[in-house]
Amino acid sequence: MSTHRFHAPYVVTQDAEDRVLAPGVVEIADGWITRVEAANAAPAPDEPGPGLQIHHLDGVLLPGFVNTHAHTPMTLLRGAGEGLPVDRWLTEVMWPREARLTAEDVAWGMRLGATQLLRGGITTSVEMYFHPEALARAGREVGLRTVVTPPVLVAPGLEHHGSWQQQLERALELADLFRDDPLVDVGLGPHSAYAVPTEPLVATIDAAVAHGLLLHVHVAEGEHEGDVITAEHGLSVPRYLERLGALGTQLLAAHGVWLTDDDIALLAAHQTGVAHCPASNAKHASGLAPVRALRAAGVPVGIATDGPASHDRLDPFEEARTAIRLARLRERDAGALGPREALRMLTCEAAAALGRDDLGALEAGRRADLIHLELGPDLGPVLDPTQLVTHVVFSGSPAAVRDVWVGGQPAVVDHRPLAVDLTGASAEVTARARRVARR
């Protein structure tokens, strides 16, 4: 078993103690973190030996970012439907084009998008998209950890994906197929309460509960998306999902913009996670999510990119900054959300939103998903180690991400992705996007 020991001037742990070690040591073995300590506390001589590799890094070492909601193969649809609200964007642009996507289209879109995620420091991404097996295999191919939640969706033009029964059956088969895969976990992704009728929604929820799978649902993204649910059942969407049994498993509610105080209390009582997509919400004018109220109630909130058609960039640094700015504008309070909180929403709190205690922190017993940032002129001056987080969040960018490890394996080295030729992948995606855009 090979052991790797990383020395860095700064190690941001994001563990329960929320430490910045200056300097620090992180040791990993067999894909897991085994030790994280201040350098002056590190025992044993720092000498390479049999099975031990030592890495002296400059800059800062952080846990890999956890992207709590994405449709990454939508690199094929980036920029389409610009300026439309979500309902028209879906029905007039997205779903018609997605009806023409093949499994190979999705694989290429995922290869390109997953590489962009890795280059931004995202090591785990929760994905909901068509042709989920192709998505999972493409993500694994480039070294990204994925939580794949195959969609269950009933919409005109998507009949070729099969009946909802067939969609659900294939999703459960996929969960069995990847059950022991180190980089792929599978959940279930009924699109939303408004796009999935009650019968298939109940069947999908029951399957998630029975098999202990993550349930990933769009919730309260648009101001009026729940009107039909309220008219028919007299309930908000979260209350409706509770009645159907969705809170009996780990539920990840994507967006959560139009939540009432009662909804927030309900989600908190069940430790339901919320995936916050600030840039996507802003692009579609969906509204300002109640992030401070959610977190104050104890709801774990993870920051997410959404898909690259919902918001064109796959940049967690931009998402974190946008989350801070929108929270402060909503509350009219410059202290509503700070950089330390935002970074936690990209790491350990995002992991908690998924019910995962193996991700999101540099801590013994967690998976060895690490990112190494260069301390260039944008990330300084660092007059005190606690300033470092402020610089990373407000001034960081994918350009600062020098190296990435997922499960202890290198995925990006010296800014270069190891598995994908970006020029060739971009050309392939452009050609396929051109075909999909044709009517």
Asked if the model's pLDDT at residue 78 lies above 90, the reply is yes
Distance between CA atoms of residues 11 and 24, nearest Å:
5
Is residue 248 domain-shared with residue 387, that is, in the same domain? no
Asked if the model's pLDDT at residue 45 lies above 90, the reply is no
The amino acid at residue 271 is Q
Is residue 149 domain-shared with residue 218, that is, in the same domain? yes
pLDDT given at position 87: 85
Token digits of residue 89: 């964007």
Residue that terminates a domain, selected from 353, 376, 402: 353
**Worst-scoring range by mean pLDDT, 91-95, 209-213, 372-376?**
91-95
Is residue 105 domain-shared with residue 159, that is, in the same domain? yes
Under 8 Å between Cβ of 289 and 257: yes
Section 296-304 average pLDDT: 98
Is residue 281 domain-shared with residue 410, that is, in the same domain? no
Asked if the model's pLDDT at residue 48 lies above 70, the reply is no
85 DSSP 8-state letter: -
Section 308-313 average pLDDT: 92
Question: How confident is residue 49, by pLDDT bands cut at 50, 70 and 90?
Answer: low
Is residue 394 domain-shared with residue 298, that is, in the same domain? no
Token digits of residue 175: 């969960």
Distance between CA atoms of residues 327 and 344, nearest Å:
15
Among 60, 87, 124, 150, smallest CA distance to 402 is for: 60
Question: How confident is residue 157, by pLDDT bands cut at 50, 70 and 90?
Answer: confident
Distance between CA atoms of residues 314 and 125, nearest Å:
11
Signed CA dihedral, 260, 266, 269, 270: sign only: negative
CATH of the domain at 262: 3.20.20.140
Question: Looking at the 3D structure of the chain, how many domains does it have?
Answer: 2
Task: Reduce the DSSP state of residue 236 to 3 states and report it.
Answer: coil
Asked if the model's pLDDT at residue 386 lies above 90, the reply is no
- The partner residues of 184 in beta bridges, in order of sequence, read 146
CATH of the domain at 31: 2.30.40.10
Residue 195 lies in a domain: yes
Among 245, 222, 244, smallest CA distance to 232 is for: 244
Average pLDDT of the chain is 95
Section 397-415 average pLDDT: 98
* pLDDT tens digits, 313-329: 999 999 999 999 999 99
Residue 234 lies in a domain: yes
Distance between CA atoms of residues 393 and 378, nearest Å:
11
* pLDDT tens digits, 174-209: 999 999 999 999 999 999 999 999 999 999 999 999
Is residue 57 domain-shared with residue 72, that is, in the same domain? no
Characterize 181-207 residue by residue with b for buried, 16 or more Cβ atoms within 10 angstroms of its Cβ, and e for exposed: eebbbbbbbbbbbbbbeeebbbbbbbb
Residue 245 lies in a domain: yes
Under 8 Å between Cβ of 214 and 175: no
Characterize 153-164 residue by residue with b for buried, 16 or more Cβ atoms within 10 angstroms of its Cβ, and e for exposed: bbbeebeebeeb
330 DSSP 8-state letter: H
E strand or H helix at 37: strand 32-38
CA distances from 51 to 184, 326, 405 (A): 27, 48, 18
* pLDDT tens digits, 121-130: 999 999 999 9
Section 327-342 average pLDDT: 98
- The partner residues of 55 in beta bridges, in order of sequence, read 6
Is residue 45 domain-shared with residue 193, that is, in the same domain? no
Question: How confident is residue 27, by pLDDT bands cut at 50, 70 and 90?
Answer: very high
Residue that terminates a domain, selected from 303, 332, 353: 353
Residue 19 lies in a domain: yes
Is residue 263 domain-shared with residue 376, that is, in the same domain? no
40 DSSP 8-state letter: G
* pLDDT tens digits, 215-270: 999 999 999 999 999 999 999 999 999 999 999 999 999 999 999 999 999 999 99
Is residue 76 domain-shared with residue 156, that is, in the same domain? yes
E strand or H helix at 346: helix 339-346
Residue 359 lies in a domain: no
Among 157, 146, 186, smallest CA distance to 64 is for: 146
Characterize 240-268 residue by residue with b for buried, 16 or more Cβ atoms within 10 angstroms of its Cβ, and e for exposed: bbbebebbebbbbbbbbbbbeeebbebbb
* pLDDT tens digits, 417-428: 999 999 999 999
Token digits of residue 289: 């999510």
Residue 423 lies in a domain: no
pLDDT given at position 1: 65
Range of the domain at 369: 3-63+364-417
CA distances from 21 to 54, 102, 167, 240, 390 (A): 18, 47, 47, 46, 15
Token digits of residue 4: 């790797």
Among residues of the chain, what percentage have pLDDT more than 90?
Answer: 88
Token digits of residue 123: 């090591």
Section 11-16 average pLDDT: 96
Distance between CA atoms of residues 377 and 416, nearest Å:
21
pLDDT given at position 51: 81
Is residue 132 domain-shared with residue 32, that is, in the same domain? no
Residue 424 lies in a domain: no
Is residue 292 domain-shared with residue 370, that is, in the same domain? no
Choice between 48 and 59, residue whose per-residue pLDDT is larger? 59
The most confident of the ranges 40-44, 89-93, 292-296 is 292-296
Residue that terminates a domain, selected from 353, 384, 406: 353
Strands 273-276 and 301-303: parallel
Residue 186 lies in a domain: yes
Is residue 181 domain-shared with residue 282, that is, in the same domain? yes
